[in-house]
Structure 1
C-alpha cells in the first residue's frame, strides 16, 4: 500500500471516532475499545512486507497481457527484472534486490521516481503511469547490412569489340576499334583493353587485376590504375598497386552523415516520416523516446516532417529542416587510397611508357557530423608534397572546404622558379654555373571553397593560390591565382544558372620564355519545361580577354515514347574566328531497350544533311550512316557486341559490362528469360540463355515465362532472386526438370482389365494414380532418362507389377497401348481370413 493510501486510512479512522467523542454518546472505555478495534483493522489492512502478489497489468491506461509477480518491500513494490526489460522501462534509482534467487527492481514510493503506481484491490491490477522519459530509448536503424553474395562465381572469359569504319566517297577509308578481354574468377577479375587505329595499329590502354573485399568495403587493384585526387591533388594514371575504399561494394550504404530524428511516445504509436512532402517511412514504435537513423534523404537542403499518432488518435507533428553534404563522412568512418607505382605517360599513344616512380596516400575521416578531416601526400625522387584539408558543415549555408599543401622539389638548374626571372638564371646564378645540377625549391598551395545546394538557390565558389615553386604531379604549371563560381536558382518556372572560371597567370614563364595570359570564361544558361510542348533552353558562353561569344537557343518536343523533334539556333562572333550563324532541325527515334531499330535525321542551314541508323538484337548492335556537306559525302558503319565463354560453351550477345550469367532451364528450348520483369533472352536448343549483364552486389530477379514450358515440365520455381559479386561469371540453374507422362491400358496375364480404382504407383515416386474403367491408366512425373519404368498396382484383393518404356521423341502424352501387369502375392496385412 502506498503512503497516500495509508494516510487516507488514518484520516478515515479519526473522522469516525471524533463524532462519537464529541457527542458524548460513549464512555471513555467504549471510545478506547473503538480506537483499538480500528487500529487492529488498520494493522490487518497494512501491507505485509515480503508478501507475493499475482497481479494484472495496465500501463498508461492500456491493459497488457502479462501477469505480474510482485513482492511488497518497505521501499515500495519489487518487480522482476525481466518485466522491466519487456516494458522497456529505464532502471530505477534504487539498487536491485535478490528475492528467491531472482533479480528484482523496485518501484519506489518516493517523489523521485518517474513511474507512479498503485494496486487496484478489487481487480488485483497493477496500474503504472509512466511518462515517455521513463522508457528506454528505441533506435530504428534503416542502414543496409553488408551484402550477402548468393550466386557462386564460375570461371568465365569474355571479349568486347567495337569497330567503326569511315570513308569519304572518292577518298581513303579508315578503320578504328576498341577491344576488351576479361578473365572472371571467384577471387577477382583480369581486364585488358586495346585500341586499334588503321594508321598506327594496336595500342594497349589498360591491364588490371581487381580484387574486391566487400566485408572491408575496399578494393585491391594491380596493374594500370587511376589514383584518387583528394581535395587538392590531381588524378593520375599509374602502373602499380592501389588499395582503396570502395563504398559501392555495399549498394545503399550512405557514407555521409544523416540527421537523426528524435521523438517520444507515451503509448504504442505509428510513425510516418515525410521528406520534402514525400513519404519515406512508416512504422510502429513502443512507448518511450525513439531515434530514427540512416533515413535515406536527398542531399542538399530539405525538410523532414515526422507524424506520431498513438492508440487514442492523438497526433504529434515535428518539422525539422536539414542540410546534407555528400563530401563529408559519417563520424568514425574512414576513406583511404594508397597508390604505389610509376606514372603513365602518353596514354593512348604508347602501349607501355612509364615515367618516374611515385607513391601517394589519401586518407579521410569523419570526426563528427559537421567536420571531416583529410590528409594527402605525394612522394617521388625529385618532389615531395604533403597537405591537409578540412570540410565543415555550416548548417543551412553549405560546406566549407579549406586546404593547405606544401611541396619540396629538386628541379633542373636551367629552370627558373623566381618571380618574373629569366629562363637563363636561377636565383641570380647563371645557367652555366648550375648546368646538370638540381636545386631544391619549396612552395605552398592554399584553397578555400564553399558549396551549397538548396531549394531557393544553389552555388559554389572556390579560390586557389599557389606560390612560386609549388609543384604537384599531374599539373605542369600551376597558375598563381585560379577560381570558379557557379550560381543556380528557380524563377517563375525557369531554371537559371551562371558561372565564372578564372585562370590566372602561371607561377613562372615556361622554359621557352612564353608567358600565358590570364583567362576568364563566363557562362549563362536558362531552361523551362513547356508541358506537352516540350522544353526550351538558352545558353551563352563568353571568353574574356578579347575572346568571342557563343549563343545557343534550342527547343525539344517529345512526340512518342522514344521519338522527338528538336531544333536549335547557334551564333558565334568575336575572337579569332569569323562570325557564324547556324540553324538545325533534327528528328530522332531512339532504339528500344531490347531488340529494334532507331534512327536520326538531321539538316542544318550550312548545307549538311545526315542520316544515322542503329539496329540491335540480343547478339549484336549495328550502326551506319551517311552525311553530305559542301559536295562531299561521308559513309560510316560500325558493329559492336561481346562474346563470352562459360561452362564449356560460347555465347554471343551485347557488350559485357561487369559480369554475365548463363541461365539453364533443363533441356527446354525457346523459353523466354526475364531480368527484373523484362524479357532479355531465349534459351537455345540445349535449354541455356545468355545474360550479358547482372548488377553486382544487388538482388537480381531472374525469371522464366511459364507459357513457354511444355506441359510435362516439372516446375519447382519460376522466379529466382540472386545476388552475384561484381565482375563475375555465374551459372543460374532453374529447378525445372522434364516430367514425362503416358497413357495405356493395363490388363492382367489373362488379358482382363485391372479393376477400376486400383492404386498405381511408379516405384521411384511417392505419388500414386487411380486406374480407370476398362483398365485405362495415366501416369506422370516419369524421368526422361531412357530405360523401363516399373509400376506397382494394388487393390484390396490383389496386386500386380508392370513395366513401361517411353518411346523416344518429344511427345508430351504418348499412348503406350496395352500393358500386361504380372500378378504378385497379396501382402499379409491385406489378407482376409474366412469366418
Structure 2
C-alpha cells in the first residue's frame, strides 16, 4: 500500500529535483517513461509490483487526494486505489469510495443498485462510478485530484447554505458539561465590613445518537448564608430530519412568530429553521454595540437568558441569536471585565410573515406554564400554529392557545411585495378570566412590515399593534394573576428591573392599547454604520404613553482607530416608581474611542477612553489600556474611572485590573478593584469537559454544537479560529460554535506542529447536526523525518524504485517509501532506532536490510540525513 505525507517545502523541492533527475537518466538508458509523483515517495504499503511504473501506471495504495465533483472540490483525504483494466486490457488506478463517502458527497446511491461491487484486490466493497449512466472517474495523479463527473439527476439537490441531508452527522455518544466557578471578596467602609461570595454554574448534558439531554444548575452562597442550589431548566431534544422538524421534551419556550412566546414544561414539535436553506428562512435579530474591554454579552427576553457569548474589545455584532425561541424586546447587558455594565434595549418584533409557495411551517406544544416567578400557578396550557405558502406570493397562517381559564385564536394573511418588502395582517380573539375578575372577551389587530434593501444593505422592520378592546388579554396576562396567596402583584424581588415591571403590568388593570416600533440598520461601508430604534406604547386607563428611542453610530477602523457615539432615551410611567405621576425620563449619551498602541497581532495593545452622561451620574469618564500576550492566550486590562454624581457633586474615583488566561484545559480569570467605598478581589475558572469512548477531554466552554478534534500523537497544536485552543497531551481538544447542517472547516496551525509529527492534511470538514459532538480526526504520523542513502555491499546504490519499509522484529511493515536516484529515500515516522527492509523484486536475491540509530546522524531543519549499508 502507498501512503502519502506532508512535509517541509524545502525538502519537497529537493526530492522533486532528485526524482526528475532520476527519471531523465532512466529514460535515456531504458527508453521507458516513469510517471510517479515525488510528493508520494513516502508511502505506506506492501507487496507492491514496481514494474507498473514502466507502464505509466502509478502504484496502487492509499493516496492523499482532493475529491472534485463537477469541477468543485468537496472533500479531501486518504483514498485507497486499486488496479483495474479497461476494455483493451490496459491497467489503471480506480478509487475505492465507501458507502459513507458516497452518501456524504450527495450521490443518490439508492437509485443505482450496481454502484457498489466487491474489489478482488482489496477484498472490500467499493463504488464503481461507471454504474451511473454518463458518469466518469479520472485520477489526476500529478495534481493529486480524483475527478468525478456526475450527472445532476444523480445528485441530491444542495440548497444554498445547507448540506445534503445524507451528509449530516449526529456525532458520537458523549457526556459533556460546561462549568463556571467564581469567588468574590469585598471589603466595605475601610475594612469595617466584608463579604465573601461563591458561585458555581454547571451545564451537564448527554448525547446519544440524535438525542441531546441538557440541564442548567447553579449554586450560590452569599457571606455566612447557606448555599442554595437552583435548577433553571432540563430538557431533551432531537431533530426529526425526514420532516425537517425538532422535538423537545422538558423546559423551553414556544416560538413568537404568531403568538407571544410562552415558557413551558412539556412537549413541543415544530419545524426546525436551522434545516431550512437561507433563502427560505425568516428574519433574525442582530444586536450591535461596543465593548470597552473583553466582555460577556448576555441577551434576555421576558426575563430569561436566551444567548450569552464573550467578545473582544471594540464593536460587536451578534447575528446568531435564536430568533424563533422567544419574542419581545431584547434586554442586552454587557458585562465588562472591570466590573462595569452596559444595559440597553433592542426593540424586536417578529417580521411580516411571507413564506414560499408550498412551504409548511408548524408548531404544536402541550404542557405546563413555566413562569419566571415561582409564586405563579403552573397551569396546564397548549398551543398549535400553522403557516403555509400559497400561490400569488400569499401566505396564510393561524393558531390557537388554550388553558383552563384562557382561550385564544388567530387568523392572518401575509403577502410578499417583491422589491417593496413583505406585509402581514392578523387578528386574535381572546377569552380569559383573571383572578378575582369577571371573564373578559377581546380582540386585537396586528400589522407587520419588514424589508431588507439589498442594494444598500438597509434593514427595516415596522410593526404596529392596535388593541381594539380593553378586554383583550394574552395567555400570560391571565395566568400571571393566579399567584400563591393571590394578594400580591409581584414577587418582591427587585433585582431584575425587566421582570419587576413586567410582573407589575401582568397584575395591573392598565393593559397595553397599542404599540408601534421601528428599527433601521444601515452599514455605510468605509464610513461606518448607523442603527436607529424607536418604540411607542399607549395603555388603557390613566397611564400616559411610554416612548423609547436609541441611536448609534460606529466609525470605520482607520489606522486601527475606531470610535462610536450613542444616544438612548426611555420615557416611562410606572406609579410604583414615579409617585408624582409625571413621566420619568432616562437619557444616556455615550462616546467611546479606541487607539492602538501596538499593531503586533499577537500582542495587541489598545488605549480606550469613554465619556458618558446620564440621568443619575451626570458625567462619567474612564480611561484604560488593554491587550494580549503569549500568543493571545493572556488578556489583560487596566481601567480608571472618574464619576461625578448629581446628588453629591463630588468626584468618585474607582479602578480595576483584570487578567484572563485562555489555556488548553480551560480559562482562568482574576481581578482587583477599588473605589471610595470598597475594595474587591475576584477569581474564577470556567471551561468544558467531554467524556467519550477514548477518554476525557478538557477545554474551553462548549457551544451548542462542538467538534472533538483528534490528532494522534500531536500535543500542543493550535487550532485556528479559537484563542488558546490547543491539543492536549494525547492530541485531543474541542472547538465549539459550529454551524449545524452546514460545512464547517476545522484547520490546524502548521507552525505549531511538533518536530516529530507529520500531518498529511491540515484541514478537515465536518457537517454536524444541532447539538452534536462530531469527531474531526487528522491523520498523523509520529516519529523522525530523514533522507537516507542506502548503499549495497558491492558499493552500488539500492536500485531506483525499490520499496524501503520500516519493519519490526516480526517483519511487520509500519511505513514505506520509494527509493529514488542514487539510493536516496525520504521517510517519516521513524523511531530513534530501527531496521529498514528494502525490496526491489521477488525472492531473497532482491532484498536487503539496513539498521539505523538516529542519534548518530546529522540533523538539519528537523530532518536527519545519513548513509547506511544495506546488507
TM-score band (shorter)?
0.5 to 0.7
**Displacement, 1:622?**
3.1
Deviates more, 1:723-732 or 1:592-601: 592-601
CA contact (8 A) 1:212 1:219 kept: yes
The counterpart of 1:356, out of the listed 379, 398, 417, is: 379
Is residue 208 of structure 1 aligned with residue 252 of structure 2? no
Aligned to 2:397: 374
Tell me which of the two structures has the higher relative contact order, counting C-alpha pairs closer than 8 angstroms and 6 or more residues apart.
2
> Structure 1, residues 793-817: CA drift from partner, whole Å, max 9, x if none?
569x993533445669999877998
Structure 2 partner of 1:505: 540
Change (3 A) 1:802 1:621: same
Q: How does 1:715-730 map to 2 (within 5 A)?
A: 716-730=760-774
Deviation (angstroms), 1:694: 3.0
2:513 alignment counterpart: 482
Q: Check conservation: 1:371, 1:391, Cα contact below 8 A.
A: yes
For the 8 Å contact 2:534–2:550, the answer to whether it is kept is: no
1:249 alignment partner in structure 2 = 275
Is 2:566 the partner of 1:537?
Answer: yes
Aligned pair in 2 of structure 1 residues 813, 640: CA closer, same or farther (>3 Å)?
closer
Q: Which residue does the alignment assign to 2:548?
A: 523
- Give runs of aligned pairs for residues 200-349 of structure 1, distance below 5 A: 200-231=227-258, 233-250=259-276, 252-255=278-281, 327-346=353-372
2:808 corresponds in structure 1 to none
In structure 2, relative to structure 1, the CA distance for the partners of 1:399 and 1:715 (3 Å cut) is closer
State the secondary structure of the residue aligned to 1:673: coil
> What is the deviation of 1:760?
4.2
Q: Which residue of 1 aligns with 2:803?
A: 761
- 1:338-377 Cα distance to aligned partner (Å, 9 max, x none): 1111112456x69xx9722222111112224643222111
Q: Give the whole-Å Cα distance in 2 for the aligned partners of 1:490 and 1:250.
A: 25
* Aligned residue number for residue 130 of structure 1: none
**1:498–1:525 CA contact under 8 A, matched in 2:** yes
What residue number does 2:610 align with? 567
Distance 1:344-1:645 versus aligned 2 partners, 3 A rule: same
1:702 aligns with 2:750: no
Give yes or no for contact 2:220–2:229 (8 Å, CA) kept in 1.
yes
Residues 1:603 and 2:642 aligned together: yes
For the 8 Å contact 1:167–1:634, the answer to whether it is kept is yes
* Alignment coverage as a number of residue pairs: 562
Report the counterpart of residue 731 of structure 1 in structure 2. Answer: 775
- Residues 445-502 of structure 1: per-residue CA shift (max 9 Å, x gap): 2123243556799573523326465444212457555222345789999968573432
**Which of 172, 185, 198 pairs up with 1:175?**
198
SS in 2 for 1:248: helix
2:442 matched to which residue of 1?
444
Question: Helix, strand or coil for the counterpart of 1:542?
Answer: strand
Q: Structure 1 pair 762/206, CA: closer, same or farther in 2 (3 Å)? A: same
Q: Is the 8 A contact 1:762 1:789 kept in 2?
A: yes
Q: Is the 8 A contact 2:462 2:516 kept in 1?
A: yes
Secondary structure in 1 aligned to 2:378?
strand
SS in 1 for 2:280: coil
Tell me the CA shift for residue 785 of structure 1: 12
Q: Which of 190, 196, 202 lines up with 2:219 in the alignment?
A: 196
Q: Is the 8 A contact 1:234 1:475 kept in 2?
A: no
| Cα distance change on mapping 1:182 and 1:251 into 2, 3 Å | farther
Q: Quick one: distance in 2 between partners of 1:490 and 1:246?
A: 27
Change (3 A) 1:214 1:819: same
* Alignment gaps of 5+ in structure 2: 1-156, 188-192, 284-349, 479-505, 574-580, 597-603, 646-651, 806-812
> For 2:179 and 2:231, how far apart are their aligned partners in 1?
14
* Residues 158 and 528 of structure 1, relative CA distance in 2, 3 Å threshold: closer
Give the match's secondary structure for 2:719.
Answer: strand
Specify whether residues 804 and 628 from structure 1 end up closer, same or farther in structure 2 by C-alpha distance, changes over 3 A only.
Answer: same
Do the aligned partners of 1:382 and 1:409 also contact (CA within 8 Å) in 2? yes
- 2:466 corresponds in structure 1 to 464
Structure 2 vs 1, CA of residues 396 and 621 (structure 1 numbering), >3 Å: closer, same or farther?
Answer: same
Task: Decide whether aligned partners of structure 1 residues 608 and 141 sit closer, same or farther in structure 2, where only a CA change above 3 A counts.
Answer: same
Name the structure 2 match of 1:587: 624
Task: Verify the 8 A CA contact 2:801 2:840 in the aligned structure 1.
Answer: yes
**CA displacement, residues 394-426 of structure 1 (integer Å, 9 cap, x when unaligned):** 6776554433223345666xx233xxxxxxxxx
Q: Provide Cα deviations, 1:539-559, integer angstroms capped at 9, x if missing partner.
A: 333335502333322222221
Is 1:799 paired with 2:824? no
Match of 2:661 among 612, 616, 621: 616
C-alpha distance in 2, partners of 1:792/1:488?
Answer: 75
- CA shift digits 1:36-89 (9 cap, x unpaired): xxxxxxxxxxxxxxxxxxxxxxxxxxxxxxxxxxxxxxxxxxxxxxxxxxxxxx
CA 1:649–1:570: 2 relative to 1, 3 Å: same
SS of 2:274's equivalent?
Answer: helix
2:518 touches 2:535 (CA, 8 Å); kept in 1? no
| Structure 2 contact 447–463 (Cα < 8 Å) conserved | yes
RMSD (CA atoms): 4.3
Distance change in 2, residues 1:647/1:757 (3 Å): same
2:792 touches 2:798 (CA, 8 Å); kept in 1? Answer: no
Please list the CA deviations of residues 183-238 of structure 1 after superposition, one character each: whole Å capped at 9, or x if unmatched: 1232121111112221551111111111013443211111112112343x332221
Instruction: Tell me the equivalent position of 1:664.
Output: 710
Match of 2:184 in 1: 166
Q: Which runs of 5+ in 1 are unaligned?
A: 1-139, 258-323, 418-440, 507-516, 573-578, 822-835
